Amino acid sequence: MVLSRNKLYSILIMACVAGYIWVCFNMVNKQSVLEPVEVCFIKHFTNIPCPSCGSTRAILSLTKGNFNEAFNINPMGFLVAFIMLFTPLWILLDIVAKKNTLLTFYQNLETYLKRPKIAIPLLIIIMINWIWNINKGV
């Protein structure tokens, strides 16, 4: 898919808004007696957690300032929280300044990540995180 500036930005904004709604929903829901809502397909059907299962809980403990706990639940929570914090700001800056620095950054990042030298270590890190996830039973 060739992403134009507006298309990429609207996808990112929608994803961020959905993420914030999801985090707020979980914050409110945690205090009630209801069962936790599971949306992950892999976990639902196979009972094996996927590489990013637990990100929501990690972000929730990040909001309380428990960095160690967040790292122990799922280190990917840091990455997701970082993206959720900074993309809306970057998009806002781009819109105000009428530039497309985020689009250029996104395209450069895509070509950069496709290099085997970068892609294979990242893949290994994700696999290790996944094995850790399965072992600790997130």
Partner 1 sequence: MEAQKVEMFIMSNSKFFESHQINGIRERLIAIDDSKWAMISTIQLKDPTTILIVSILAGSLGIDRFMLGDTGLGIGKLLTCGGLGIWTIVDWFSIQKATREKNMQKIQQFLY
Binding site for partner 1 (CB under 8 A): 1-2, 15, 18-19, 22, 39-42, 50-53, 55, 76, 79-80, 83, 106, 109-110, 113-114, 126
Cβ at position 9, least distance to partner 1 in Å: 13
Nearer to partner 1, 25 or 67 (CB): 25
* Minimum CB–partner distance for residue 52 and partner 1 (Å): 5
Nearer to partner 1, 22 or 72 (CB): 22
Residue number, 51 or 61, with CB nearest to partner 1: 51
Token match 């707020």: residue? Answer: 24
Q: What is the DSSP letter of 137?
A: T
Instruction: Write the DSSP string, 22-91.
Output: HHHHHHHHHHSSSPPP---HHHHHHSPPPTTTTHHHHHHHHHTT-HHHHHHH-THHHHHHHHHHHHHHHH
